[in-house]
Structure 1
Amino acid sequence: MPLPATWRYTGRWIKKTAWRGAVLVAVALLVRPGAVRAEPATATAALQEFSPPAKGSALVINIPSFTLTYFRDGKEVKRYPVAVGKPTAPTPVGSFRIISKVVNPTWYPPFGGRPVPPGPGNPLGRRWLGFLPSGYGVHGNNNPSSIGKAVSLGCVRMRNEDVEELFPLIPVGTPLMITYETLGLETDPMTGQTCLVFYPDVYRRGTPTVEAVLACLKKSGLDGHYAPAEIKRALVASRRGASFVSLGTRVRVAGQEETVETTVVSGETLLAVRPVLAAFKLPVGWDARRKAVVIGTAVLPVHLVEQRSFARLGDLQRVLGIKSAWNDEDKVLELFQWAVKVNGEDLGCGAWYEGDQVWLPAGAIAQALGTKVSWDPERQVALGAEKEWPGRLRGQELYVSPAVLAELLSAKVTVLAGERLVEVVERAAVVPVTGAPEAPAKEEQPTLPPPAAPPAAPAADEVQETAPVRALEENTPAGDPAVSPPAKPPR
């Protein structure tokens, strides 16, 4: 990208020839810690995993996915949608650091023109996080519809509310990695479903071949999970936007686990119908006219993939009452028709219903009550100090009847058949009273929280209340109405 004839340097406007400006920028890149490496983006089939520092903040921007990810103490905290540079002015790829922070920046057009002060017409929005002295930064915008597109002059745009949320969390010196990865692994937070994702090649740098993707999967220990035909279809579909190839999800029904085939439609994970209904011992019929699965009188809408039926979790619950909860500890999707609440809180796994009997997970309920239950898996009995209670082992969990659970845990168990709900409430301990009765306890007055402290003022060396920024940014993307500059530049 050509350098502007004039640029901001050490607080003064200096006229420079193109080559002298280039030399000064090159020197700045060498001596400033803000830019460790910058290089042209190339298409890759590598499933790179960024290793953020164990302490502090870090940022990762992936151009093809139009995302900025914020890490804190080595863990992903939040992912934001962004806009990136257009193909003729690409966002640089490499390792950088945040070198400046500005509140309410003034925008100076990189190729001359009147400065634009802070306000609704400023293309930088209300926050600026610079990562290269030559005018590249992460900032807000004055055109929210540009997010998720390649339209800028190389800067990275965020929604104003997003960059304002992120701004106080990012000190000067924060590491920033900008990548160009058209292949990635994503996890659905609702189901724990792992998907292979193909992002569009926004800069036309070339998409990976099927062979390259398969070799990468083999290196990552995922060979055999994806068929070449599926990968080929996803690569073709990625020309229009992100496309997905899904891996089976671990599903647990009444303690029994199995891997259920899944597919992804519009970013939502769908489960294969037949194994799910078989786990609940529900008969499966097919209505060819409506192209739907029929269970008795219920009609379940499905999505067909090569003659196989897949259903959304929401439809499974709406039509069949099959509820779901993601067990993050075991990394498994719990499916159940009978919900369980312990002291008013959802347990996260359900009861098992067979015939006219409800069976409850004794171990999970005991843990929710802050206690433990032991059992003999061979004899399928719960063990007490002087007594044993019968149960039924499913997977690694012992299920017992409501009557047994009430005695085993000294709890009140209520079965609401109409709602397919079991409520478990811990019984309060009864303490015998001896001697004179105690005086009634005084009513405890609510304790008000202390007033919130005023927000800390930004460090003087990091943030300016109003500062000029000569950003590589356009005031308005192509096709948007022009924003009139101020009549006079600010002093």
Structure 2
Amino acid sequence: MWKKVCAGMLSAALLTGAAGTVFAAEANDDVVSLVTQPGQPLVTTTAKTTAAAPVKETAAKAEAPAKVELADRLVINLAARSIAAIRDNQKVALYPIGPGKVSTPTPTGYYKVIDKEVNPTWTDPGSATSIPSGPDNPLGYRWIGIGGNYGIHGTNHPDSVGHYVSNGCIRMHEEDVEKIYDMVEVGTPVDITYNRIVVEKTPDDQIAYYIYPDGYGWQNVTAADVNKWLAGYGVADFVTDADVEQKIQASDGNPTYVAKVYPLYVNGQKLKGKAVVQDDITYLPAVDLAEAAKVSLGWKPDEKVLVSSYGQAVGYKKKDTLYC
């Protein structure tokens, strides 16, 4: 239960990637021992000390990405109706798309670019009538084939982009597909997914999550699903189930910013737990830190005070986890 208990009173021995906040607190009775180190009794004096002023965290400025000539792969999220160009595991471009209708959905899976064509000719599969490149061509002026009759292309109906409209191909605005066209070559991987939950880390270390509508009716989303995704980024304790449920009900695809996360080290050793910054307060994982630094740790649940062999700190309980 206490494996993930968190606190921040080990300030002198710790290094984090974010600015920390040091506290002191009045001691009380009834200490629950969380981590016990030989020869290090918990501090249980009743002397009062004054809490130190929090140190305001300052976000680092994100560097402008370098000019991208080729993408390592394309990632299409049908639920988000978007296509992303990925290079060195970073999203370098993101554009809206118009995927297949509900009756003719775009298939998910792993594909690759098999051909490219400028000014493609379109052949009507029903009548076999061909339409050359021009304003009447529904493929626009670029075609990126990914297998079978499926491809990524422009459109002469730009207002259809952002909706489920095609027979299975990926429609894009002409100016966008021309940029994507120049970023790929034959053989570039194309991943097509359907993910209503998207979590990402922004360039300034902020964790944001999105919930998209279920356009195809393929994926039911629960608060537990969202929490599982957020836990992978270390911020699941910093959202409430009520807020997540409200977000699922909205399913508007807008970002919800949770907190900033930073790697946490003790004596050069990277810990599993992270430093989390929310509303300019930095929260640190006490048990992980105590074990790494070989410091005894206890918890006074009634007074909400964490006690260590270095001193005491006010604790904050978020879900089943304590932070300081």
TM-score w.r.t. the length of structure 2 is 0.56
Q: Percent identity?
A: 36
Equivalent residue of 1:150, what SS? coil
Instruction: Decide whether the 8 Å contact of 2:99 with 2:163 is kept in 1.
Output: yes
**Is 1:84 the counterpart of 2:99 in the alignment?**
yes
Question: 1:168-179 alignment to 2 at 5 Å?
Answer: 168-179=182-193
What is the aligned counterpart of 1:96 among 111, 114, 122?
111
Cα 1:88/1:80, change in 2 over 3 Å: same
Alignment match, 2:225? 212
- Is contact 1:234-1:243 (8 Å) kept? no
For this pair of structures, how many residues does the alignment match?
A: 199
User: Which structure has the higher relative contact order (CA within 8 Å, separation 6+)?
Assistant: 2
In the alignment, structure 1 residue 248 sits paired with structure 2 residue 259:
yes
Deviation (angstroms), 1:71: 1.9
1:128-139 pair list within 5 angstroms:
128-133=143-148, 135-139=149-153
Deviation at 1:93, TM superposition (A): 0.2
Are the structure 2 counterparts of residues 165 and 95 from structure 1 closer, same or farther at C-alpha, using a change threshold of 3 Å? same
Deviation at 1:109, TM superposition (A): 1.4
Of 212, 236, 244, 1:199 maps to 212
Q: Distance in 2 between matches of 1:80 and 1:218?
A: 28
Secondary structure at 1:165 match in 2:
helix
1:62 pairs with 2:77: yes
2:71–2:184 contact (8 Å) kept in structure 1: no
| Residues 457-491 of structure 1: per-residue CA shift (max 9 Å, x gap) | xxxxxxxxxxxxxxxxxxxxxxxxxxxxxxxxxxx
Structure 2 gaps, min length 5 = 1-69, 262-275, 282-324
CA 1:97/1:195 → structure 2, altered by over 3 Å: closer, same or farther? same
Query: Could you tell me how far 1:220 is from its partner in structure 2?
Result: 4.3
Structure 2 partner of 1:227 = 240
What is the CA–CA distance in structure 2 between the aligned matches of 1:62 and 1:184, rounded to whole Å? 10
- Structure 2 matches for 1:85-484, cutoff 5 A? 85-133=100-148, 135-187=149-201, 193-238=206-251, 241-249=252-260, 259-261=277-279
Question: Could you say what secondary structure the match of 1:235 adopts?
Answer: helix
Q: Give the RMSD, CA atoms, in angstroms.
A: 2.5
Confirm or deny: 8 A CA contact 1:128 1:137 kept in the other structure: yes
Q: TM-score, with normalisation over the residues of structure 1?
A: 0.38
Q: 1:259 to 1:168 in 2, by over 3 A?
A: closer
Partner of 2:30: none
Contact 1:226 1:245 in 2 (8 A): no
Contact between 2:71 and 2:85, CA under 8 Å: does it hold in 1? no
Partner of 1:339: none
- Tell me: CA distance 1:129–1:187, structure 2 relative to 1, closer, same or farther (3 Å): same
Q: Deviations over 1:190-212 (max 9, x none)?
A: x6532111011110113211123
1:69 match: secondary structure: strand
